[in-house]
């Protein structure tokens, strides 16, 4: 068990398409899963967010991810076998560039086939936040990063600027001759509605 260094944006290993794991029930696989777990827990304790990590982020190019949502789960050789047509828009982050946030679109629901630590085939259906997390981590196994899926270049921002300008935008001072304010709920729906994919939603940033 060990806390491993997390590779950062620009490290070429993050762009490698990982190889399938073929040895199950081994000490090496157990060690990798424990290292992923310990590294995730350490990052979350220091940074305050984090639900999943992929093997290439700790410099191991095998198709293994570890998630901690309700219970800890290792997914080996995960493959998305179904995707919803419905999309969702959200701000995503990543251990490999923790100071950035990226707005992107993801499938609202997916079904994933994977193997457990003993090599037994399993499936999981996920929607919403869990769906996004699994898509994010499986992307890592293919050398794809969240920044590659940004809606456009204007939707890659520093976390500090997101907090300042998007999550908590400055309040404009109304002039004395301004029109009477509309009802608060209607004003929010009109003025703050983001540009979204059809049938999508705009949650708070989802930590990966």
> Within the chain, what is the greatest distance between any pair of CA atoms?
74
- d(CA 63, CA 116) in angstroms, rounded, equals 12
Q: Is 137 a catalytic residue?
A: yes
Pairing of strands 87-92, 109-115: unpaired
Element (H, E) at 52: strand 52-54
- d(CA 186, CA 189) in angstroms, rounded, equals 5
- d(CA 25, CA 30) in angstroms, rounded, equals 7
50 forms bridges with which residues in the sheet? none
The DSSP string of 150-172 is: BSSGGGEEEHHHIIIIIISPPPP
Q: In sequence order, what are the residues at sequence separation of 6 or more whose Cβ sits closer than 8 angstroms to the Cβ of residue 204?
A: 91, 167
Question: Annotated catalytic residue: which of 111, 121, 127, 137?
Answer: 137
Which residues are catalytic, by number?
137
């Amino acid at each position: 068990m060990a806390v491993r260094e997390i590779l950062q944006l620009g490290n070429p290993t993050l762009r490698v398409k990982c190889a399938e794991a073929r040895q199950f029930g081994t000490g090496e696989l157990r060690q990798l899963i424990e290292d992923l777990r310990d590294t995730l827990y350490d990052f979350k304790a220091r940074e305050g967010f984090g639900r999943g990590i992929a093997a290439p982020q700790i410099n191991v190019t095998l198709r293994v991810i570890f998630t901690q949502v309700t219970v800890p789960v290792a997914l080996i050789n995960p493959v998305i076998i179904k995707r919803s047509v419905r999309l969702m828009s959200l701000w995503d982050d990543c251990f490999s560039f923790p100071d950035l946030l990226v707005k992107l679109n993801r499938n609202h629901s997916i079904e994933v086939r994977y193997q457990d630590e003993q090599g037994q085939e399993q499936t999981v259906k996920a929607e919403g936040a869990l769906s996004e997390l699994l898509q994010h981590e499986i992307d890592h196994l293919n050398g794809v990063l969240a920044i590659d899926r940004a809606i456009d270049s204007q939707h890659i921002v520093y976390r500090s600027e997101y907090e300042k300008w998007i999550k908590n935008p400055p309040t404009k001072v109304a002039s004395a001759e301004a029109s009477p304010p509309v009802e608060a709920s209607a004003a929010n729906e009109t003025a703050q509605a983001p540009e979204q994919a059809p049938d999508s939603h705009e949650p708070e940033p989802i930590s990966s």
